[in-house]
Chains A and B, each alone.
Chain A
Amino acid sequence: MIYSLCLVLFILGLYCVLTKKNLIKIIVGLVIMDNAVNLFFVLLGYRTNGTVPIITNDAEKSMIMQHSVDPIPQALVLTSIVISLGILALMVSLAIRLYEKYGTFDITKIRKLKG
């Protein structure tokens, strides 16, 4: 099933976050996870050969209800993409600052905190 591909992508991202040592690769892993969820969300509202959900007159109402794709997940995913862009920008800037301080992207060498 196509939904399971989203799950594969999600687990791939999680694996990347958990095992990679490079800060940038961790960030890429997070983005992959986010995109997997976004893809899943869009797929929920998708209908093969569906029409656009725009009603121009009352006669079309029932036809639209039966044949259109669900527009709400698309609107939600748009919001979610903007949010993940915000997180991405913040994390990349943190990674740049960390590189300035430690001179490396390797997370095993960034260890000034105890514990």
Chain B
Amino acid sequence: MISIKFLPLFVIIPLGSAFILNIFERKVKLLTDLIASIASGALFVLSILMFGVKGNYYVGGWPSQFGITLVIDGLSSYMLVTINMIAFIAILFSINYMEKFTFKSRYYSLLFLMLAGMNGVSITGDIFNMYVFLEIAAIASYALVGYGGKAEELEASFKYAVMGTVSSTLILLGIALVYSQTSALNMAVIGRNINTSDSLSILALIFLFAGFGLKAAVVPFHAWLPDAHSSAPAPISAILSGILIKTIGIYLIVRIGFNIFGVSQVFLNVLLIVGALSAIIGVLLAIGQMDIKRLLAYHSISQTGYILLGIGLGTPLGIMGGLFHLLNHATFKSLLFLNSGSVEYSTGVRDLEKMGGLSKRMPVTGVTNLIASMSIAGIPPLNGFWSKLLIFIACIQAGYLGYAVIVAIVAILTLSSFLKVQKYAFTGDVPPNLSETKEAPFFMKTSMIFLATMCILLSLVFIVPSLREAVLQPATNVLTSGKTYIDTVLKGQGGIIGAP
């Protein structure tokens, strides 16, 4: 039976696989692929089975004031499903894509370390433990960005590592200040003890959010993202853009902002302004790009802005829209990055001007890219439309007409930007040097088709009321109920004490 006992497996399975994969290095080539896909597939299945489970897991049997508590609630299980789905797809894609790189097993190891970090961040209830998991994910991602070993990739990796380290230091400083105020590390106990009107607590909050903002690449801190996300191998770009910036950026901002410190109007206004700025500046920077991966990376900034804007409204509808957009963006942005990887794999080209007519040569990539482009631009039956509509309606309902206009304008600009991609890359005549282009291999096609199907099916999550109640409502409730998170964790509702 699935119960709270299985919660640590989200960290144990990826950490164990990262270790095991290195043992089998170069012994049997097939084995590394097999272990990696089985482990990530198992995590994906487990995350779906665990959906809806609520409670605490006390590591080592220590009560929450002393030991590390793992907490799973509506928001955590929502994040776990998102993370493990995209990671599974990215690993399937890597089976063919990473053939041209050396040391595939080390690549998988780093990927699993990153996955362990992200899963850990979303289930931990301890602020220092969160920092450790965050660093595991971040360090693995620095190494993965520079995995190709070319000059540009190393340069991007170094820049990313400098920015990442500065942000981690800010977060650690914030944690130190929080500890000085509350003498606690458990997030629920911190929430109970903290006095949010105290100036040192506010300083701690500023340091923490500056750190998470840097990780999430929201607008004043966005400069590193296009370099890092466009230099990484395609499956890694998909993971970085699709889930990493959301888990160690947005998720932590909302978890700590809403559940630990408690919402205030100032905090919501900061989220609104930062979100709106990210949405507009990201899309404006994206329009002029001719490198397909840089274009997608700039769109990540813009779509992250949407999520923050939705959540920053603070109304249940806005929060639901923001969280739904988080899941949707994970699917379509990962798909777009996988498409760009598939194009790069088959043609060796990333510059849009050198492409053309690829739909004829690569039908699967062409069709899935069309679906993902329509989804990110918000064309009706697809999932991106529903979440943008939700945010738009929530803006009007909350009385922020200006933000509603911004949401609409950014959607139009996004559409124009992706029409450009379609026009340059997938329609028109095939340039002579690309006339021999073949479709991507089996696993790359499978993963792209899976994500394209998800883009279509996820719209049902919003349209069908029972699915909406089951999937989106629990995550939304966690944020709208605010500081009741503290009581839920401290009372340990539905949890068991100690290891089985």
List chain A positions with a Cβ less than 8 A from chain B: 10, 14, 17, 23, 26, 30, 33-34, 37, 40-41, 44, 70, 72-73, 76, 79-80, 83, 86-87, 90-91, 94-95, 97-98, 101-102, 110-115
Nearest 5 Cβ contacts at the A-B interface: A101-B151, A41-B176, A112-B152, A83-B135, A33-B169
One of B157-165, B241-249, B365-373 contacting the partner: B157-165
Contact between B154 and A98 (Cβ–Cβ < 8 Å)?
Answer: yes
Complex contacts, A10 vs chain B, CB 8 Å:
173
Complex Cα–Cα for A70 and B176 (A): 13
- Which of the residues B149, B165, B294 comes within 8 Å of A97, measured between beta carbons? B149
Report B108-146 residues with CB < 8 Å from chain A CB.
128, 131-132, 135, 139, 142-143, 146
Contact between A87 and B165 (Cβ–Cβ < 8 Å)?
Answer: yes
A sample of 25 cross-chain residue pairs with beta-carbon separation below 8 angstroms, ordered by A number, consists of A14-B166, A30-B166, A34-B169, A34-B172, A40-B176, A41-B179, A44-B179, A72-B179, A73-B176, A83-B168, A86-B139, A90-B143, A91-B158, A91-B161, A91-B162, A94-B154, A94-B161, A95-B158, A98-B154, A98-B155, A102-B151, A113-B156, A114-B291, A115-B226, A115-B294
Complex contacts, A110 vs chain B, CB 8 Å:
155, 158
- Which of the residues B161, B176, B227, B231 comes within 8 Å of A87, measured between beta carbons? B161
- Which of the residues B152, B158, B168 comes within 8 Å of A94, measured between beta carbons? B158
Q: A30-B166, A87-B165, A110-B155 are in contact. Are A44 and B226 (CB under 8 A)?
A: no
B269 within 8 A of A: no
B466 within 8 A of A: no
Contact between A112 and B161 (Cβ–Cβ < 8 Å)?
Answer: no
- Residue on A with the closest CB to B207? A37
- Which of the residues A23, A80, A87, A101 comes within 8 Å of B139, measured between beta carbons? A87
> Interface SS of chain B: helix, strand, loop or mixed?
helix
Q: With A34-B165, A94-B158, A101-B154 given, can you name 8 additional A-B contacts, CB distance below 8 Å?
A: A17-B166, A83-B132, A87-B168, A90-B142, A94-B142, A110-B158, A113-B227, A113-B231
> Interface SS of chain A: helix, strand, loop or mixed?
helix
Minimum Cβ distance to chain B for residue A29 (Å): 9
Report B478-498 residues with CB < 8 Å from chain A CB.
none
Complex contacts, A115 vs chain B, CB 8 Å:
226-227, 294
Contact between B161 and A90 (Cβ–Cβ < 8 Å)?
Answer: yes
Contact between B166 and A112 (Cβ–Cβ < 8 Å)?
Answer: no
Number of B residues near A (Cβ < 8 Å) is 35
Complex Cα–Cα for A80 and B143 (A): 19
Q: A91-B161, A110-B155, A114-B291 are in contact. Are A79 and B173 (CB under 8 A)?
A: no
Q: A17-B166, A33-B169, A37-B169 are in contact. Are A112 and B128 (CB under 8 A)?
A: no
- Residue on B with the closest CB to A35? B169
Q: A37-B173, A41-B176 are in contact. Are A112 and B151 (CB under 8 A)?
A: yes
- Residue on A with the closest CB to B172? A37
- Residue on B with the closest CB to A91? B161
B180 within 8 A of A: yes
Complex contacts, A37 vs chain B, CB 8 Å:
169, 172-173, 176
Interface string of B263-280 (1 = CB under 8 A from A): 000000000000000000
Minimum Cβ distance to chain A for residue B391 (Å): 29
Complex Cα–Cα for A37 and B169 (A): 7
B90 within 8 A of A: no
Complex contacts, A98 vs chain B, CB 8 Å:
151, 154-155, 158
* Most A CB within 10 A of own CB, among B166, B169, B173, B291: B169
Contact between B152 and A113 (Cβ–Cβ < 8 Å)?
Answer: yes
Contact between B165 and A44 (Cβ–Cβ < 8 Å)?
Answer: no
Minimum Cβ distance to chain A for residue B99 (Å): 23
Complex contacts, B75 vs chain A, CB 8 Å:
none
B451 within 8 A of A: no
Complex Cα–Cα for A79 and B139 (A): 15
Minimum Cβ distance to chain B for residue A60 (Å): 19
Interface string of B371-407 (1 = CB under 8 A from A): 0000000000000000000000000000000000000
Minimum Cβ distance to chain B for residue A37 (Å): 5
Complex contacts, B183 vs chain A, CB 8 Å:
70
- Residue on A with the closest CB to B223? A115
Complex contacts, A80 vs chain B, CB 8 Å:
131, 172
* Most A CB within 10 A of own CB, among B128, B155, B231: B155
Contact between A33 and B155 (Cβ–Cβ < 8 Å)?
Answer: no
